Amino acid sequence: MAIKVLDRKPLSLAERTYLPQIISGLGITLRNMLKPPVTLQYPEEKPVIPKGYRGVPTLVKDPNGREKCVSCQLCEFVCPPKAIRITPGEIADPENPHVEKAPKDFELNMLRCIYCGLCEEVCPEEAIVLQDLYSLNSEAREEIVLHKDKLYELGGTLPDKHFKWDKKKKAAEDAASGDSH
Amino acid sequence: MDWIDLLITLLKAVVVVVIVMTISGYSVVGERKVSSWVQGRVGPNRTTIPLLGSIPVIGKLLTRWGIFQLPADGAKFLFKEEPLPDHVNKFYYNLAPIISFLPPMIILTVLPFGQYVKDGVSSAVALTQTDVGILFVMAVSSLGVYGLILAGWAANSKFPFLGGIRASSQMISYELCIGLSLLPVFMWTGGTLDLFAVVQAQGGVLFGESFGLPKWFIFSQPLSALLYLVALFAETNRLPFDMPESETDLVGGFHTEYGAFKFGLFFVGEYAHMAIGSALFSIIFLGGWSIPFLPLSAYPEGILGAVLSVLVLAAKTIFLIFFYMWIRWTLPRFRYDQVMNLGWKILLPLAVANLVAYAIVMAFMPGL
C-alpha cells in the first residue's frame, strides 16, 4: 500500500486566536438550543418498551384461563439471587381433571430479584414471563414480595399455541376409549 | 436635603435593588433553562404555587417556564439548616458572603440606566451621577474578590483555600487587562470618566451614513471590547474561567464549607456580578440605551422616553447574561496555568498594544 504523506500545516493566525472556532462552537450550541428536547416528561409520558424487555417476572395463564405453572420448582432452583419460593400443591379441579399440579403459593421477592430472566428461560411450561412492567414500588417492603394472586394479576393471559392440558385430556380420553396408537 | 428627598432617594434605591436582585435571581433560573436547552432537556417546569399555578392558561405557562422555581429555591435556602463548621474563623466566615455580595449592589449606585429628557436637556436615570463613574465601578468591583479570598481563608480547609488563592491571582491578572482595555474608550470620549457621557458619545452612526454601523464602541474599538469581555468573564468567575469555584477539581472551591443561605448569598452575588458586568458592557461597548442607527435624541421627552431607554438597556443586558450561559456550554474550562498564560502573556500585551495604537491614532487624527 502506498504511503500517503499528509501535509501538516501549522496553525494559521486565525486558528491560533481560537476566535473562529469559538464562533462556530457558539453556532453549534445555538443549534442544539433550538432543537426540541429529547427527554420524556416521565410520569405523563411513558417510554416505549422494546420487545424482549425484561421487566418484573409474572405468572401467566393459558388461553383457557388455567394456571400454566405446575410448580416444578425449576425456576426456584435456577434463580441466582434466590428470590423465588414455591410451595407446591395438588389441585383437584373437577373442571380440568388433567391439570395435576399448581403452586399453592408462589412467592417472588422483588427485593431480591435481579431481572436476569433465567426463570423464564428455564420454565418448561412457559408459565413465568418477564413482561414490560418496570416500575414496581410501594411504601411497605411486604408489598414488594409478590405472591401468587398478585403475580397472576400482573401476568394476565398470554397467547399460547401449545394447549398442553387440552392435548393431555384428548390423549387420556383416547386411551380410555381403547384407541391406542 | 429635606427628609422627603431622603425618603425618595431611599425609595429609588430600594426599587433599583429589587429590580436588579430579581434579574439576577431569575438569571439563576435562566441558567438552568438555557443549560437544559443546550443539552436537549426541558429544565425546571414543575414547581408551582398552589393558587397561582391553577389560573387557567397563565398559571400553566408560568409553571412551564419555571417562573416559580426562584421562590422555591430561595425558600429552600432559607429553611435549610445553617451549618457552621467548628474549624472555621467564625467572624470572617460570616462576613465573607456579605462582602462578596455587596460590591455589585454598590456599583448599582453609579450605573446610568437610561436617559430622561426634559426641555431638550437629557440627564441620566441613575441613583447618582458622578464624574468618576468608571473609576468608582472598577475600584468597587475589584473589592468583590475579597469576599472570595476571605471565604477561602476563613473556611480553614484546603480546597476553599486553594479556591481563594486562585481567585486572588486570577483577579490580579485580569484586573490589569480590564483597566487597560477600557482606557482607549475613555480617551475616545475626551477624557471623561462619566458613564452617561460614554453612552451619549455612542448615539448615531459610525463614520457617516454610508458606512452603516451603529456608533457603538464595539464597532470602533472591537479589540478593546473583546479584551474587556474576556476579562469580564474572568472577573465574574464564569466558565471557562471558573478557577475559584472549579467544582471539577476543588469540590466547590471557596464556598465548599458554606451551606444554606450563606451559599445562596454567594450564588446570587455571582449572578448579580454577572448582571452588573453585562450592564457595564452594554453601557460602554453596546451603546447603552441607544437604538442602532437612531440618534439618542430620538427618545421622546419625559417619563415615556426614560422608560423606553431603560428597557432597551435591560434588553441588551439580558442578552449579555444569556451570552454568559451560552459561552458556558460552548467552551471547556481552562486549566489554571492556561488562565495565567492567557492573562499575562496574551491579553495584557494585547491590551497595552491596543492602548498605544489608539493613542497614536487619536493623536494624529484629532477629529475622530
Distances (CA, A) of B237 to B145, B245, B267, B327: 10, 8, 11, 13
The percentage of chain B sitting over the pLDDT mark of 90, rounded to a whole number, equals 2
Per-residue pLDDT reduced to its tens digit, B272-287: 888 888 888 988 888 8
Q: In order of start, what are the domains of chain A with their CATH numbers?
A: 57-161 (3.30.70.3270)
| A38 interface with B at CB cutoff 8 Å | yes
Per-residue pLDDT reduced to its tens digit, B203-238: 777 666 666 677 788 888 888 888 999 888 888 888
Q: Do B326 and A35 touch (CB under 8 A)?
A: no
Average pLDDT, rounded, for chain B: 83
CA dihedral B287, B288, B289, B295 (to 10 degrees): -30
Q: Do A25 and B326 touch (CB under 8 A)?
A: no
Give chain B positions within 8 Å (CB) of A33.
34, 37-38, 326
Kindly tell me if the per-residue pLDDT of B288 is higher than 60: yes
Nearest to A75 by CA among A64, A62, A66, A88: A88
Determine contact, residues A70/A100, Cβ cutoff 8 Å.
yes
Per-residue pLDDT reduced to its tens digit, A90-122: 776 666 666 678 888 888 998 999 999 899 899
Cell output for B118: 426634559
pTM of the model: 0.80
Q: Do B42 and A33 touch (CB under 8 A)?
A: no
Q: Do A25 and B42 touch (CB under 8 A)?
A: no
What is the pLDDT, as a whole number, of residue A78? 92
Determine contact, residues B111/B126, Cβ cutoff 8 Å.
yes
Judged by DSSP in three states, A178 sits in coil
> Average pLDDT for residues B2-6, to the nearest whole number?
83
Per-residue pLDDT reduced to its tens digit, B154-211: 888 888 888 888 888 888 888 888 888 888 888 877 777 888 878 877 777 766 666 6
Largest CA distance in chain A: 99
How far is the alpha carbon of B42 from chain A, nearest alpha carbon, in Å?
A: 6
Distances (CA, A) of B245 to A172, B159, B162: 80, 9, 9
Cell output for B153: 481563608
What is the pLDDT, as a whole number, of residue A93? 66
- Residues B143-175: b if buried by 16+ CB within 10 A, e if exposed: ebbbbbbbbbbbbbeebbbbbbbbbbbbbebbb
Q: Do A22 and B330 touch (CB under 8 A)?
A: yes
What is the pLDDT, as a whole number, of residue A118? 92
What is the pLDDT, as a whole number, of residue A122? 92
Sign of the dihedral through C-alpha B57, B60, B66, B68: positive
Q: Do A38 and B36 touch (CB under 8 A)?
A: no
In chain B, whose CA is at the least distance from the CA of A31? Answer: B38
Alpha carbons B329 and B324: distance in angstroms, whole number = 9
Residues of B contacting chain A (CB within 8 angstroms): 34, 36-42, 226, 326-327, 329-331
| Band (B368; pLDDT cuts 50, 70, 90) | low
State the DSSP H helix or E strand holding residue B218, giving kind and residue range, or none if neither: helix B217-220
Residue of B34, B35, B37, B46 best to disrupt the A interface, most CBs of A under 10 A: B37
Per-residue pLDDT reduced to its tens digit, A13-30: 888 888 888 899 999 999
State the DSSP H helix or E strand holding residue A84, giving kind and residue range, or none if neither: strand A84-90
Alpha carbons A133 and A79: distance in angstroms, whole number = 19
Cell output for A41: 416528561
What is the pLDDT, as a whole number, of residue A161? 75
DSSP code of residue A95 = S
Q: Do A39 and B41 touch (CB under 8 A)?
A: yes
| A92 interface with B at CB cutoff 8 Å | no
How far is the alpha carbon of A34 from chain B, nearest alpha carbon, in Å?
A: 7
| A-B contacts at Cβ under 8 angstroms | 34
What is the pLDDT, as a whole number, of residue B258? 83
Least reliable range by pLDDT among A60-64, B128-132, B242-246: B242-246
Identity of the residue in B38, B41, B42 whose CB atom sits nearest the CB atom of A29: B38
What is the pLDDT, as a whole number, of residue A80? 92
| Band (B112; pLDDT cuts 50, 70, 90) | confident
DSSP code of residue B255 = G
Least reliable range by pLDDT among A71-85, B35-49, B51-65, B333-347: B51-65
Q: Do B330 and A26 touch (CB under 8 A)?
A: yes
- Residues B305-339: b if buried by 16+ CB within 10 A, e if exposed: bbebbbebbbebbbebbbebbbbbbbbebbebeeb
Sign of the dihedral through C-alpha B63, B313, B9, B299: negative
